[in-house]
Structure 1
Amino acid sequence: MEKDQPKKSGSFACRDPDSCPASESVNVEAQPDEHETKEKHKEEEESEQKDDSSPDTDSITLPKVSEDIDRFISDLCDSISTPNPPEVPNSIEQFAELVETEITKYESNESTTKWSHELDEDTSSLLEAVNRISKLANAFGGFPSETKYTYSLSRASRILQRAMSFLEEEFRSLLEDSRSVDSDPTITKQPSFNSNNDSDRNAQGEPDSARDTNFPGYSPDTVDNLNRIASAMISAGYETECCQVYTIARRNAFEERLSKHGFEKISIDDVQKMQWETLEAEIATWIKAFKRCISIYFSAERQLCESVFSCNPTLYDGLFCNLTRGVLIQLLNFAEAVAMTKRSAEKLFKFLDMYETLRDLIPAMTGLFSEEPLRELKTETTSARCRLGEAAVTIFCELENSIKTDAGKTPVPGGAVHPLTRYTMNYLKYACEYKDTLEQVFQEHQKIEQSDASAGSDAESEPSSGADQVAKQSPFSKQLLRVMDLLSSNLEIKSKLYKDPSLSYIFLMNNGRYIVQKIKGSAEIYELIGNSWCRKKSSELRQYHKNYQRETWNKVLALLRDEGLQVHGKVAKQALKERFKSFNSMFEEIHKTQSSWVVSDEQLQSELRVSISAVVIPAYRSFVGRFRQYLDSGRQAEKYIKYGPEDIETYIDELFEGNPASMVKRKN
């Protein structure tokens, strides 16, 4: 039978011959008599061969020697305060050799599968052995003045260091290999950690949002192995190395995941230099990434962290917070950079989208982070949100300046709706779809302004009842009303560009009706503007209508009166003929001119035509009925009475089409 005690320089046995008992002196490296030593070795070998109870080296396994190791560790710990601590048993060397053999086997890739990727008896046995090595080193370390343990402590420490280096690589491999499996759609996945059956069925051929439910993509067996390795490293005092490997691997996983969704790290300078079209696309990507992180990734990451480091709740909480804080700060830095870009009207809506994303997801952080990190991250997020809010306020208020500076001197052809009116109202309609958010950002802005206001503002006079009414309006409502009033004033100025007063009123009616229709078509604007403003505007429109009627058709109606047609009580035919000629000429000129004018709102167009017909046609029919008899019948009558009442009505219906129309003589 072979010897069960390998004799090599790496033995755990005592190196000090003075302190070693005679029974163990065979383990000392340098003996005074070499011949005596060899003889003694021979005697021991013969004695061992005769001893049937001596085990065969091939039959020695980690589980078999583990009981001796545990017993020795227990004895060693119990003897800390005793004068004679126990000697190092020979089974310690056997144990050391077996542990190193196991590590060497997996380091040299003798196994077809990585050790950490299997969950079997060998895995458990080696981890338990590493834990024993750690306990052994700690136990030896409890006897700093005991020289007979010096070498044993050094030997245990070296093996432990090698074991930890091995476990560290296995830990990294598990974290990274599983991530690559998650990212490869061609690989059939194991049931995923933190996923449900539905998401597992959707592992391939799906949108990213569906596959995100598989994040972080580790199988339960993998998580169990990660937990066991982490526990072994931490209990051995290698907490820092373990946490560093985990943090780097998971940070890379986050960056890889965000990169797949199109979000990359972008410096503040690069954001400032971006064209708006490019930045707009980046913002859309950022919003998706931020939502996924808060609603999916962070929650899954916390569960993973808790599972891997279940042995130390304080540790996994700190690891999770540090990891996710880095990701979150990266996202918030982008938001801050966007808020710093040059203001322009088209940016408002994307700024508000980002603001809402930050605002709506802040509550979701409560269940993810502990109190102190939560407070810090909420502060960071709120700061970025407020910067975006202030930028949005500035952009919206710039609408005032754009209206004020629009001083074009070219009137819109045909009195149509001005481009400024269309732009402003469509901008407001779209903006008011964010009504609640704009109300919030303007209220926050007002608080900032009030906090910056001077103390002397308290001494100002009490507001009037009218001012009280305005004060009850929200800050955003007030701003909206200012914009509307500025637009109305600007349009009044632009109406003066028309030489024809009638066309000025058509222009004001067109633009006023467009404004009112836009307000009534948006419940949000209507709620903010208020019914009283709309009633006032409608009243203005009626007045413009009356003014148009007066400027255009009162002159026509004057020609259809009796005054000036009688001389000494008789109808003067020549005067009557001139009256009909004047009417025909004036009506034809109005028709030619105003058929080219534009009234695009069908209801307004119909109202104008009906109102014109209502005053002109009855007057014309009555005038013709009263005075036709004074003209010679036949061709002479047709020469002066060119149009019948029905013709007049037809021609009135051709007004405001935007195209000049010619009048064709028609029979009565």
Structure 2
Amino acid sequence: MELNQPKKSDSFGRKEGTDTKPTSNMEALGEKTREDDGAEGKKNDEEQTQSEVVPHPHCDLENVSDGIDKFLSSLSAKKDDDDKENDVVPGDIPHELLQQFSDLVEAKLSKPEVDSSFLAAVSRLSKLKKCVRELKPEDSHPSILINRIGGIHERAISFLEEEFRLLLEDSRIGESDAKGKQDHHIQQTELSESIGDHEADFPGYSDDVVSSLNNLAKEMIFGGYESECCQVYAVARSNAFEESLQKLGFENHSIDDIHKMQWEALEREIAIWIEAFKKCTTVYFSGEKALAESVFSNHPSLSDSLFSNLTRGVLIQLLNFVEAVAMTKQRSAEKLFKFLDMYETLRDVVPAMEGLFENECGNELKNEATTARCRLGEAAILMFTDLENSIKADTGKTPVPGGAVHPLTRYTMNYLKYACEYKDTLEQVFREHSRLERADSTSRPSHDETQSFDDQNKSEPQTPFSLQLIRVMELLDSNLETKAKLYKDVGLSNIFMMNNGRYILQKIKGSTEIHDLMGDTWSRKRSSDLRQYHKNYQRETWSKLLGCLSNEGLNVNGKVVRPVLKERFKSFNQMFDEIHKTQSTWVVSDEQLQSELRVSISAVVIPAYRSFLGRFSQYFHTGRQTEKYVKYQPEDIETSIDELFDGNPTPRRRP
């Protein structure tokens, strides 16, 4: 039921269309008695119950109210006079006027309608209640009158309280949308769509309803029912906030519940928390503050207190979730990113709330949020340390087939790539919270120790997080070097290091964030290492083959020794076939590296073979002897080289 509705009648005591003549002389009205008044009638009037009240047939509320206002004004004038302060005696009271006013208001209470005239009547009751309490108690009549006015006033206020509660609970815009609770496992995109309208209208009261709430609150507080008014408001708005959180999918889980959750479930809860926290701190809290200030516009201290208490309770509930998540044992490295999402939410949103709260409350909430954020920062540090531990713990003795990129390399570099998307946040975390690392951790070096890992990087500015990345890369390199030794073929060992080194370098070049953190010097050194692995591979694999094409030992006294020549061709064919058979199964997945290797091999082998063949093939008789020893033409060698590093044990060519 809203205030300020059109009146259905001009007074509480008349039905619509009834012609009641008002009394014009209010002073005479105060002295007039009813024709049927006697001792017994007077007694019956005093004992009337609400259902028996019958208003005076020759008066209406508007005219009686004028008389009440004059009476209250006269009392106020006497109080303002220092010589007559508190000198109010029973003889000054227009008993009949007060009785008539009480009758009319009590009759109205049988079928109350909260409009401006009713609120004005309640206001007069409040004033009368305060004033008549100051009367001298010699006369029994004022005492009975005080009790009656007090009883009517209490019933009127109770009705206003109920109306206040109903308006708060049932008058929100889009209330039908708030009835159904959504499953808290709903995806974030669906959440945003479902609450869009609700968010835009939060807290969801029309201007007319807010105005009505303000009028009701003002009368309740003026009538001495401040605590009741505040309690009704606090409970209703607390329930509304709880409902809003439920619409977002947020539930107030206990610490034990959170610690028992599987990661998939907790991950969903974290996403919901982020949505709820942002909505509360950027939309709901500001809307709630505006509502409290509007409803209690005449009492700013009350609006501040109610708003602070309500939002503090909601915020502490949200921060308790953060504390519980930060304490969870589920701290494996891949869970870092959800923790950083929560960290960023607290970091970015909380400062915007400072203007919403009074200094004391604001400082308390700021400290609570800062503490929660620090807990997340500490957890993030430990998670990153777990990445180091996972690298050192990977001690598998089975080499990757074909010398391909090791899964540890892929995992580490993809992890770092995603981590560096949070570069600014991780820089802040390591800068502010690294001193809080575990005291017994031996996996992380000190600042000075980390710098010694790569002396060439000292000329470039380094941050705590960039030093951490260098540390991770050093650990990965060390692990890969150990794994490379698992290959019996030294050439394959170099292919393995090339594959992993190229993968690492490409990931760093493909991420501006990682590249900026690692620095140009580090990247140049990595490229230099790759070139060295390439040289080592060629020396170990192709130098021996090229030895078969050497002129040394072929000429004796100026003549070609044909048996030696035959053995050279035979050795070349056999060795090349073995290389092709073996290295066709080796894997170089990076197309550029694969092409570089093939081109470099061709550049060394084919010219040497073509020259050797051109000089010595003439010493074989044409026909079967040539076919027996000259197995390959230069074009065949080139085709075979182009089949290397495919990871395919079946050659595409036919010898």
| TM-score, L = length of structure 1 | 0.83
- Quick one: distance in 2 between partners of 1:601 and 1:539? 18
- Quick one: distance in 1 between partners of 2:484 and 2:97? 106
Choose the corresponding residue for 1:547, options 523, 536, 544: 536
User: In the alignment, does 2:186 pair up with 1:178?
Assistant: no
Displacement, 1:208? Answer: 1.7
Choose the corresponding residue for 1:425, options 386, 403, 413: 413
Displacement, 1:183? Answer: 2.5
Choose the corresponding residue for 2:294, options 285, 295, 307: 307
User: In the alignment, does 2:631 pair up with 1:639?
Assistant: no
In structure 2, what is the equivalent of residue 156 of structure 1? Answer: 149
Q: 2:274–2:345: 8 Å Cα contact kept in structure 1? A: yes
Structure 1: which amino acid aligns with 2:265? T
Q: 1:596–1:657: 8 Å Cα contact kept in structure 2? A: yes
User: In the alignment, does 2:464 pair up with 1:475?
Assistant: yes
Do the aligned partners of residues 317 and 665 (structure 1) sit closer, same or farther apart at CA in structure 2, a change above 3 Å counting?
closer
In structure 1, what is the equivalent of residue 242 of structure 2? Answer: 255
Choose the corresponding residue for 2:375, options 370, 387, 397: 387
Do the aligned partners of residues 648 and 528 (structure 1) sit closer, same or farther apart at CA in structure 2, a change above 3 Å counting?
same
Higher deviation after alignment, 357-366 or 591-600: 357-366
Post-superposition Cα deviations, 1:100-132, rounded to whole Å, max 9, x if no partner, equal: 1212213xxxxxxxx45xxxxxx0001011011
Displacement, 1:142? Answer: 2.5
Structure 1: which amino acid aligns with 2:132? F
- Quick one: distance in 2 between partners of 1:471 and 1:272? 43
Q: 1:643–1:665: 8 Å Cα contact kept in structure 2? A: no
Higher deviation after alignment, 366-375 or 221-230: 366-375
In structure 2, what is the equivalent of residue 100 of structure 1? Answer: 106
Q: 2:640–2:653: 8 Å Cα contact kept in structure 1? A: no
- Quick one: distance in 2 between partners of 1:339 and 1:261? 22
Structure 1: which amino acid aligns with 2:108? E
Q: 2:403–2:499: 8 Å Cα contact kept in structure 1? A: yes
Displacement, 1:206? Answer: 5.8
- Corresponding residue pairs, total: 585
Choose the corresponding residue for 1:89, options 95, 100, 118: 95
Q: For 1:98-247, what aligned pairs fall within 5 Å after superposition?
A: 98-106=104-112, 115-116=113-114, 123-143=115-135, 147-148=139-140, 149-179=142-172, 182-185=174-177, 207-247=194-234
- Quick one: distance in 2 between partners of 1:220 and 1:570? 114
Higher deviation after alignment, 255-264 or 617-626: 255-264
- Quick one: distance in 2 between partners of 1:665 and 1:283? 60
Displacement, 1:185? Answer: 4.5
Q: For 1:549-564, what aligned pairs fall within 5 Å after superposition?
A: 549-564=538-553
Query: Equivalent residue of 1:560, what SS?
Result: coil
User: In the alignment, does 2:323 pair up with 1:336?
Assistant: yes
Do the aligned partners of residues 660 and 146 (structure 1) sit closer, same or farther apart at CA in structure 2, a change above 3 Å counting?
farther
- Quick one: distance in 2 between partners of 1:468 and 1:552? 34
- Quick one: distance in 2 between partners of 1:345 and 1:59? 86
In structure 1, what is the equivalent of residue 589 of structure 2? Answer: 600
Displacement, 1:381? Answer: 0.9
State the percentage of identical aligned residues.
Answer: 62
Post-superposition Cα deviations, 1:550-606, rounded to whole Å, max 9, x if no partner, equal: 000000011100112223321111111111010000000000000000000000000
Higher deviation after alignment, 206-215 or 628-637: 206-215
Structure 1: which amino acid aligns with 2:584? S
Displacement, 1:76? Answer: 2.8
- Quick one: distance in 1 between partners of 2:542 and 2:124? 109
In structure 1, what is the equivalent of residue 18 of structure 2? Answer: none
In structure 2, what is the equivalent of residue 69 of structure 1? Answer: 68
Do the aligned partners of residues 631 and 134 (structure 1) sit closer, same or farther apart at CA in structure 2, a change above 3 Å counting?
same
Choose the corresponding residue for 2:347, options 337, 349, 359: 359
In structure 1, what is the equivalent of residue 433 of structure 2? Answer: 445
In structure 1, what is the equivalent of residue 479 of structure 2? Answer: 490
Displacement, 1:477? Answer: 0.8
Q: 2:382–2:437: 8 Å Cα contact kept in structure 1? A: no
- Quick one: distance in 1 between partners of 2:502 and 2:335? 29
- Quick one: distance in 1 between partners of 2:148 and 2:244? 44
Do the aligned partners of residues 451 and 243 (structure 1) sit closer, same or farther apart at CA in structure 2, a change above 3 Å counting?
farther
Structure 2 segments unaligned to the other structure (5+ residues) = 1-12, 14-30, 45-54, 80-84, 180-191, 441-447
Q: Which runs of 4+ in 1 moved over 4 A?
A: 23-27, 144-148, 447-452, 463-468, 663-666
- Quick one: distance in 2 between partners of 1:438 and 1:144? 76
Do the aligned partners of residues 376 and 626 (structure 1) sit closer, same or farther apart at CA in structure 2, a change above 3 Å counting?
same
Query: Equivalent residue of 1:251, what SS?
Result: helix
Q: 2:460–2:519: 8 Å Cα contact kept in structure 1? A: no
Query: Equivalent residue of 1:184, what SS?
Result: helix
User: In the alignment, does 2:275 pair up with 1:269?
Assistant: no
Structure 2: which amino acid aligns with 1:101? A
User: In the alignment, does 2:273 pair up with 1:280?
Assistant: no
Q: 2:480–2:497: 8 Å Cα contact kept in structure 1? A: yes
Structure 1: which amino acid aligns with 2:64? V
User: In the alignment, does 2:634 pair up with 1:614?
Assistant: no
In structure 1, what is the equivalent of residue 276 of structure 2? Answer: 289
- Quick one: distance in 2 between partners of 1:545 and 1:414? 16
- Quick one: distance in 1 between partners of 2:88 and 2:211? 42
- Quick one: distance in 2 between partners of 1:433 and 1:103? 67
Post-superposition Cα deviations, 1:135-187, rounded to whole Å, max 9, x if no partner, equal: 111111223655553222222221111111111111000011113x5221499
Q: For 1:640-659, what aligned pairs fall within 5 Å after superposition?
A: 640-659=629-648
Structure 1: which amino acid aligns with 2:640? Y
Structure 1: which amino acid aligns with 2:557? H
Do the aligned partners of residues 83 and 589 (structure 1) sit closer, same or farther apart at CA in structure 2, a change above 3 Å counting?
closer
In structure 1, what is the equivalent of residue 59 of structure 2? Answer: 60
- Quick one: distance in 1 between partners of 2:609 and 2:333? 53
- Quick one: distance in 1 between partners of 2:256 and 2:177? 36
- Quick one: distance in 2 between partners of 1:635 and 1:530? 62
Structure 1: which amino acid aligns with 2:151? R
Higher deviation after alignment, 545-554 or 531-540: 531-540
Q: 1:77–1:139: 8 Å Cα contact kept in structure 2? A: no
Displacement, 1:347? Answer: 1.4
In structure 2, what is the equivalent of residue 8 of structure 1? Answer: none
In structure 1, what is the equivalent of residue 306 of structure 2? Answer: 319
Higher deviation after alignment, 365-374 or 593-602: 365-374
- Quick one: distance in 2 between partners of 1:546 and 1:254? 69
Do the aligned partners of residues 518 and 466 (structure 1) sit closer, same or farther apart at CA in structure 2, a change above 3 Å counting?
closer
Structure 2: which amino acid aligns with 1:621? R
Choose the corresponding residue for 2:516, options 527, 530, 534: 527
Q: 2:202–2:284: 8 Å Cα contact kept in structure 1? A: yes
Displacement, 1:472? Answer: 4.7
In structure 2, what is the equivalent of residue 350 of structure 1? Answer: 338
Post-superposition Cα deviations, 1:405-449, rounded to whole Å, max 9, x if no partner, equal: 100000000000000000000000001000000001111113557
Do the aligned partners of residues 310 and 574 (structure 1) sit closer, same or farther apart at CA in structure 2, a change above 3 Å counting?
same
Structure 2: which amino acid aligns with 1:322? N
Do the aligned partners of residues 154 and 387 (structure 1) sit closer, same or farther apart at CA in structure 2, a change above 3 Å counting?
same
Displacement, 1:293? Answer: 0.8
Do the aligned partners of residues 223 and 350 (structure 1) sit closer, same or farther apart at CA in structure 2, a change above 3 Å counting?
same
